[in-house]
Structure formats: C-alpha cells, structure tokens
Amino acid sequence: MKRVALVTGGARGIGLGISSALLREGFALAVAGTKPAGEVAEPLRELAEQAQPGREVRYFQADISRREDRERLLAGIEAAFGALHLLVNNAGVAPQVRTDLLHASEESFDRVLGINLRGPYFLTQAAARWMIRQHQQDAAFAGAIVNVSSISAEVASVNRGEYCISKAGVGMATKLWAARLAEFGIGVYEVRPGIIATDMTAGVKEKYDQLLQQGLCLQARWGTPADVGKAVALLARGDLPYSTGQVLVIDGGLTLPRF
C-alpha cells in the first residue's frame, strides 16, 4: 500500500533529512515550503532521485502560518495523492534578531509563534480531520503525526525567549493531540533535536564547536539532519506502537542531568 507523508520545511536542514529518511521507508512525499519551487529545485531533484518506484515527490509552496495556505496545501495533496498517512510538523524559524527578554519585540514574538506554534497546531487540526475521515472509511488506515520541536522546549535561552516558548507550546500540543486522536488510532509524537548542523545554526558554529570540545554533550559532535530523520522514520514505521504522546530527544546526551 502506498503511504503518503507531508513534511513541512522538508527541502532544507532537518526537514531535508526527514524527507530523505521517509523516502527510504517507501513513502510518497509532499514537501511544503515558503520558497518558490525554482529556489529549491536542487534538493527536490535529489529527493526525487531517492524516491522508490511509484513513489512521487511533490512540492507545495505554502506558509503554514496562513490559514488559506494550509487549506490550499491539504487540498493540493488530496488532489495529487488522494490520501495522507503521516504529517511531520517540522517548519520553524528562529528570531530574526536574538534579543534579551527585556528588549524583545511583540512583532518578533508574533512572527515566531505564528510559524512555530499556531501554524502547526491548526495544520494538525485540519490534517487530523482528514485522517479521521480516512479511518472511518477504512478501519485499517493508520495515521501518525510527528512534531519536531527542540531542546529549547525545556532549556531556557534568555536571548530568544519567543523561540523557547514556541517549542514548549509544541510539546503541550503533542500531548493534547495524542490524547484527542488516540481513539482513531492516530499516534502523535514529538522529536526534540539538540544542536543540529544546519543553515539555522551556521552562525553559532564556532561557539558550539568550543562548547562541544568542553563536554557540552556526552556524544561530542554536532547532530545531523540524518540523525533526526532516522528518529522520525522509526515513528513512521510504527516501531513504537504503544507510545503515543512520547518525546524522542535527539541531542547526544546534552540534556542528561550530570554532576
């Protein structure tokens, strides 16, 4: 049976690692992003080359913070694939400027929470309604939702408070949707990455290179998008069938309490 996955922000960084992992699992793939298709042509070409026979990769330009874009995105996936089995809420942004809590702006707060929390929350609502309809039409239908958050859901960074709050909210959203959707056989999970080497973290590479050398993580290296992709693939396969609502922390031991 062909299974269909939607990965938001799936053409770059962590999302690209997730997209690649899901293609290896045999999913057909819908990738959503804010850039025009021409600007992500190269990663989309690479993804298409990884797709298994009969498993298409489609790109949809959409800003998940906008309701009309979310509606258009899901309508486009239904027209292209006819089904949706897995939603990976990965798209997210950092503050455009890191600013101390005492000086942070409401505009930055609204932007970050709109993209990182409100958008995924309501995209999940719409996707869940569609998954429920599919479950009602076919008792064998198995749906799942994976929220990609961050260790910043628990680790405070006072110069990017809006980001931390948005990721903490994603953690609670995971619990809420897991509780609401369990009766329909839809598992909901959170994957919480630590320090991952992407374009988003490129600006702080030197800082974290030094911290890693000083023992910040038990596993003294940067995480990779592939590390996160493998965690999402595990959930997508259904390898943790009795674990809805749980968090997988992919941080090399960074948040493990130590003396």
242 a catalytic residue = no
Domains of the chain: 4-250 (3.40.50.720)
Q: What are the tens digits of pLDDT across the range 102-158?
A: 999 999 999 999 999 999 999 999 999 999 999 999 999 999 999 999 999 999 999
Eight-state DSSP code of residue 52:
P
Q: What are the tens digits of pLDDT across the range 199-231?
A: 888 888 899 999 999 999 999 999 999 999 999
Q: Which of 59, 163, 189, 242 is catalytic?
A: 163
Indicate whether this model's pTM tops 0.95: yes
Order across the sheet with 57-61: list the strands: 57-61, 28-33, 4-8, 86-89, 144-148, 187-193, 247-250
Average pLDDT of the chain is 97
Q: Which of 185-194, 196-205, 223-232, 250-259 has the lowest mean pLDDT?
A: 196-205
Query: What's the pLDDT score for residue 162?
Result: 98
225-237 helix and 13-24 helix, angle to the nearest 10 degrees: 40
Inter-residue long-range contacts of 127-132, CB under 8 Å, 24+ positions, other chains counted: 127/6, 127/74, 127/84, 127/87, 128/177, 128/180, 128/181, 128/186, 130/74, 130/78, 130/84, 131/84, 131/85, 131/181, 131/184, 131/186, 132/181, 132/184, 132/186
Q: What angle do CA 111, 114, 125 make, to 5 degrees?
A: 170
Q: Is 135 helix (H, G, I), strand (E, B) or coil?
A: helix
